[in-house]
Chains A and B, each alone.
Chain A
Amino acid sequence: MDIFLQQLINGLVVGSIYALIALGYTMVYGIMQLINFAHGEIVMIGAMVTITCINLLLGMGVQMPGPVLLLVGLLMAIPVSMFLGFAIEKVAYQPLRKAPRLAPLITAIGVSIVLQQVAMLIWGRNYRPFPSILPTEVHIIGGAAITDLQIAIIVLALLLMGGLFYLIEKTKLGRAMRATSQNPEVAKLMGVNVNHIISMTFIIGSALGAVAGVMVAANYDQAHAYMGFMIGLKAFTAAVLGGIGNIGGAVLGGILLGIIESLGSGYLGDLTGGVLGSHYKDIFAFVVLIIVLVFRPSGLMGERVAERA
């Protein structure tokens, strides 16, 4: 039982991180039907900038409690990621809005390569350890261990998701975003500045991505220039699982994927007598995805869109 609970908690933590990143993918997809391949790299840059800032502050001998240091680092990283998201859209996607659909996919891959290489030039090829500034004490709940960090990740992720829901459902900006995703042409006629809305979508998504990046780095105690790739892939899978373009779907897909992965890799070895071990963990994301899409091609919460003739 306690193993089950433990895996569930781990899955929930990883899942809420996936969900935050998946939101960035799904918002962009909802508005411009584009897979923003560079989103994973924005997550990575967020993590790297935060680590650098914290190390800088520690190097200057600043005396601050760990969580405050982390917050300062995060507040430095968010604007960097926001600017990157904004700039990427302006440079690589906006000129190609009327181009064939594969063209922006290729520029997205190009941007992704460029960001990875720039990160390597700045931060080197090796893993960057996350500075040990956070309390490490462990709470025991029902036989399962959970750290303050893990609690903080789940709570913060939930808060951010709640904030995003409020923004999209209740504010004027949110209404304009929904209008743009339904029909950009008509939204334009109604006085929505579509370019502005698309920029805002990238900026919000990138900010969420930066937070998620710091969570990943803190949770696994390290960051790496290539980390954005796999985590981006998983998050995109989560977005598709939930039904891409659907905000609630991204949250559901992310959390489900985290839990499935964690439970699956935890029990797979036992179930198969050690034949299939936890090194098959990465397969889960894809197997689940294929199964879901075969039976429900539009994802769990996606609407069944009639094919456009």
Chain B
Amino acid sequence: MHETMKKNPLLLAIFATFVMVLPWVLGGFFENGNSWLRAVDFALLYILLALGLNIVVGYAGLLDLGYIAFYAVGAYLYALLNSPHLAEVLPAWLSHPPFLVMMVLAAIVAGVFGVLLGSPTLKLRGDYLAIVTLGFGEIIRIFMNNLDRPVNITNGPQGINHIDAVQIAGYDFGRPIEFLGLTFEKIHLYYYLILAFCALIIFVSMRLQNSRIGRAWVAIREDEIAANAMGINTRNVKLLAFAMGASFGGVSGALFASFQGFVSPESFVLMESVMVLCMVVLGGMGNIPGVILGAIIVSITPELLRDIINPLQMAIAGKRVVDPENLRMLVFGLAMIIIMLVRPEGLWPSKRRRAELHPKTKEIALQEKDSLQDAERNHD
């Protein structure tokens, strides 16, 4: 996507305009435009998350199944500092920090957690790493569920309520703002806010991809020993991947908490980690437009199905035969299986990955195979 757009500024302009007016299009064309816009807001949050995880899984090749823990850390940090829950205990200077300070804080704290998880697990590879990160995610969630005694920090399973929305330059994002004759409600304001963060992380990801660090990550992903031999400090570079992925997760968590106004451990179950991983893999690991596409599909499809399945069921059978919620997830699961069977490399894979899986012609593939065999023979 971004390559064609670089060549064609007109396309880019059209795309940008579309993105900018989308909330008003939704509001104008659909009766329940606001609930759709809410779904879009969450899809944007998922794009942030998926791009963060893409750094860890797609670039550095470290399979992380507990990514949602960093989202949780960011969300709870925001909730604790910006709600009445701890207001009496917190020193005044720490309560309701300015927006940018808050975001930097969320990034740093989540990043520290990323390093904490990363440092003992660096020796592990592949599936072992996956299961340890999974365990880490569960540990964080269980602590959030139970840290309401002996000292009430997280308020346990009830979660934290009355979280204030962000305030930027004196504007409270929780209240409607009149501007240019349009009324920007909370969902509109957050649409643009999260969109801005998406643009930021897309920019950072693109710059990282071809940087020295980005290439070091690819080298580690392809062959860690060779990367080490080439003088890459694999330990630090891997830790950096964990920390950067985690910081993005933390920032999106903070945005989530401020948008939702409420956090509870239920939002951070393992299934969420799995969903974010699905977005990355379904879309196309390591490819920014692919990951964005994956995030949109995985987060919007269940919402679309909600609006399609029940009327369809009514039309065919005339009554509610099965629980639409079940059917929705069933279709979603089937879709996941089918997409992977048809396109195991993802819907929109990076060039490198596509080339690996589908060599351009049979001849090239055969030549490559021959030369490989020759090399092996010579090696013996």
Contacts and interface: CB of A to CB of B under 8 A. Distances in A.
A121 B135 contact: no
Contact of A35 (B123, B130, B226, B326): B130
A44 B357 CA distance: 36
Contacts of A120: 323, 326
A309 B146 CA distance: 44
B130 A114 contact: no
A107 interface: yes
Given A35-B130, A100-B345, A102-B281, A279 B330 contact: no
Contacts of B353: 100
Nearest to B133: A290
Contact of A290 (B123, B136, B330, B334): B136
A117 B277 CA distance: 20
A29 B131 CA distance: 13
Instruction: Give the size range of A's interface with the partner.
Output: 35 or more
A283 interface: yes
A135 B223 CA distance: 59
Interface stretch (B1-9, B336-344, B369-377): B336-344
Contacts of B335: 110
A286 B341 contact: no
Interface stretch (A15-23, A136-144, A186-194, A236-244): A236-244
A106 B225 contact: no
Contacts of B225: 307, 309
Contact of A114 (B135, B146, B334): B334
Contacts of A114: 330, 333-334, 337
A29 B127 CA distance: 10
A263 to B, nearest CB: 18
A60 interface: no
B185 interface: no
Interface stretch (A75-83, A91-99, A172-180): A91-99
Nearest to A244: B127
A290 B132 contact: yes
Nearest to A99: B344
B340 A282 contact: no
A62 interface: no
A104 to B, nearest CB: 8
Contact of A107 (B57, B125, B146, B340): B340
Interface string A21-49: 00000000100010100000000000000
Contact of B139 (A104, A277, A286): A286
Contacts, number: 135
A1 interface: no
B120 A290 contact: yes
Interface residues of B, number: 53
A283 B139 contact: yes
Nearest to B269: A229
B135 A290 contact: yes
A229 B271 CA distance: 10
B55 to A, nearest CB: 16
Interface string B197-224: 0000000000000000000000000011
Contact of A293 (B121, B138, B150): B121
Contacts of B120: 290, 294
B128 A297 contact: yes
The interface centre, meaning the residue of A102, A277, A282 with most chain B CB atoms within 10 A of its CB, is A102
B206 to A, nearest CB: 23
Name the prevailing secondary structure of the A interface residues. helix
Given A102-B63, A280-B142, A240 B337 contact: no
B304 interface: no
A107 B323 contact: no
A113 B335 CA distance: 11
B131 A107 contact: no
B166 interface: no
Contacts of A96: 340-341, 344
Nearest to A288: B135
Interface in B286-314: none
Interface string B74-107: 0000000000000000000000000000000000
B257 interface: no
Contact of B323 (A92, A121, A283): A121
B307 to A, nearest CB: 19
B135 A285 contact: yes
A92 B337 contact: yes
B53 interface: no
B20 interface: no
Given A96-B344, A103-B344, A283-B139, A289 B336 contact: no
* List of 6 A-B pairs having minimum Cβ-Cβ separation, nearest first: A286-B135, A113-B333, A99-B344, A110-B336, A114-B333, A103-B344
29 contacts: A29-B127, A33-B127, A92-B337, A95-B341, A100-B357, A102-B63, A102-B285, A103-B344, A103-B345, A110-B340, A111-B337, A113-B330, A113-B336, A114-B330, A117-B329, A117-B333, A120-B323, A120-B326, A233-B134, A236-B131, A237-B131, A237-B135, A280-B146, A283-B139, A289-B132, A293-B132, A297-B123, A307-B224, A309-B223
Given A103-B344, A106-B281, A121-B330, 20 more contacts: A35-B127, A99-B345, A100-B285, A102-B285, A106-B282, A106-B336, A110-B333, A110-B335, A110-B336, A113-B330, A114-B330, A114-B337, A117-B330, A118-B330, A279-B145, A282-B138, A283-B143, A290-B121, A293-B124, A294-B120
